[in-house]
């Protein structure tokens, strides 16, 4: 393991049109002590050939080809190939600012944190504004406080592995759950947080997240996606069950996910799944009733929505639209 090396892991699948921009943003880094591992996950377009061509330009870029197995398996392959003391994960249609690695390394050296995290900008081709970036009095956070902030969507914190630089020592043998279709990065981050002592978070948006392109599932809503998210958060809840800040927030989010899953199952005519998700929604709604961290308004909303998921989804959407207004 190279103590000064940062391993950048990029899973590649059907992103031929955007991959070069991603790689060029790495080549432009002001910190040059990195290796870039492109994992071609059996992409059916020209992405694999592009990976090979880009690898020929710089000895720090390596390409690994594998049969299609999904983003988690590709990231796991990258972890196996990594030689650095730190790991960074990029999506192949995203890009980073030129001082991305330099800032992450500086924050890590100054704080000694096992995980350092930056903010992000959502890009849809129209110059979308950066994510919320309220100044923090202290950027050094306990892992539980960071996780709670992500669950509450405070200060631009989200559960994404793409915004952080991870100590490989903290990752250890931990790997992404390749059986999950969605939520695998949230689960990985939640588990890493349970193994470390400190997070350094600066909300400056150094990472650019493309959310509007053909094939991007960022905004897709489906029963499969909901159920994968539920599995992921249930696993995080198991690990963090003794944390009074994190547990009620997870219960609240799980209640909402189960309510939507019940509605989706109902609309699809899958009665057994509807009953399973409705019962789970009621269980999670009951679990938050005694928590001072959850507002009375949310407690009432969850109780009513869990009792009737069909009406509950409509109520939730109206409340969200009201908050946006």
Contact present, 198 and 116 (Cβ < 8 Å): no
C-alpha of 271 from chain center: 31
Is the domain defined by 2-210 classed in CATH 3.40.50.1100? no
pLDDT recorded at residue 218: 47
The alpha-helical segments, DSSP class H, found in 7-128 are 16-27, 47-57, 71-81, 100-111
Q: What is the DSSP letter of 284?
A: H
Contact present, 3 and 85 (Cβ < 8 Å): yes
Tens digits of residue pLDDT in 277-312:
999 999 999 999 999 999 999 999 899 888 888 765
Q: Which residues of 69-78 are buried (b: 16+ CB within 10 A; e: fewer)?
A: bbbbbbbbbb
pLDDT recorded at residue 44: 96
Provide the whole-model pTM.
0.89
Tens digits of residue pLDDT in 161-177:
999 999 999 999 999 99
Rounded CA-CA distance 184/221 in Å is 16
- Structural domain boundaries in the chain: 2-210, 223-324
Give the three-class secondary structure for 315. helix
Q: What percent of the chain has pLDDT over 90?
A: 76
> Mind giving me the DSSP string for 237-278?
HHHTTT-TTHHHHHHHHHHHHHHHHHHHHHHTT-HHHHHHHH
Q: On the CB side of 173, how many CA atoms lie within 13 Å of its CA?
A: 0
């Amino acid at each position: 393991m190279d103590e000064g090396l940062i391993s950048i892991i990029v899973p590649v699948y059907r992103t031929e049109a955007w991959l070069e921009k991603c790689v060029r943003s790495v080549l432009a880094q002001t910190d040059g002590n990195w290796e870039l591992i492109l994992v071609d996950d059996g992409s059916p377009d020209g992405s694999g050939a592009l990976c090979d061509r880009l690898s020929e330009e710089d000895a720090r870029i390596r390409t690994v080809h594998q049969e299609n197995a999904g983003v988690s398996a590709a990231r796991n392959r990258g972890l196996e190939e990594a030689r650095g003391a730190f790991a960074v994960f990029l999506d192949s249609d995203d890009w980073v600012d030129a001082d991305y690695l330099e800032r992450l390394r500086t924050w890590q050296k100054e704080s000694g944190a096992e995980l350092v995290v930056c903010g992000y900008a959502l890009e849809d081709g129209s110059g979308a504004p950066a994510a919320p970036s309220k100044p923090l009095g202290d950027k050094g956070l306990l892992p539980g406080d960071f996780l709670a902030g992500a669950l509450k969507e405070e200060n631009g914190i989200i559960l994404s592995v793409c915004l952080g630089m991870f100590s490989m020592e903290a990752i250890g043998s931990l790997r992404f759950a390749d059986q999950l279709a969605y939520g695998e990065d949230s689960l990985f981050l939640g588990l890493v947080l349970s193994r470390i002592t400190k997070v350094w978070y600066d909300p400056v948006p150094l990472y650019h997240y493309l959310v509007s392109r053909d094939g991007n599932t960022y905004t897709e809503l489906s029963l499969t996606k909901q159920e994968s998210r539920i599995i992921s958060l249930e696993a995080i809840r198991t690990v963090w069950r003794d944390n009074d800040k994190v547990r009620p927030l997870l219960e609240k989010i799980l209640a909402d996910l189960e309510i939507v899953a019940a509605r989706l199952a109902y609309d699809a005519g899958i009665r057994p799944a509807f009953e399973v998700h409705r019962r789970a929604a009621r269980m999670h709604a009951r679990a938050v009733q005694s928590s001072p961290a959850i507002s009375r308004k949310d407690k009432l909303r969850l109780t009513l929505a869990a009792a009737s998921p069909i009406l509950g989804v409509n109520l939730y959407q109206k409340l969200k639209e009201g908050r946006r207004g």
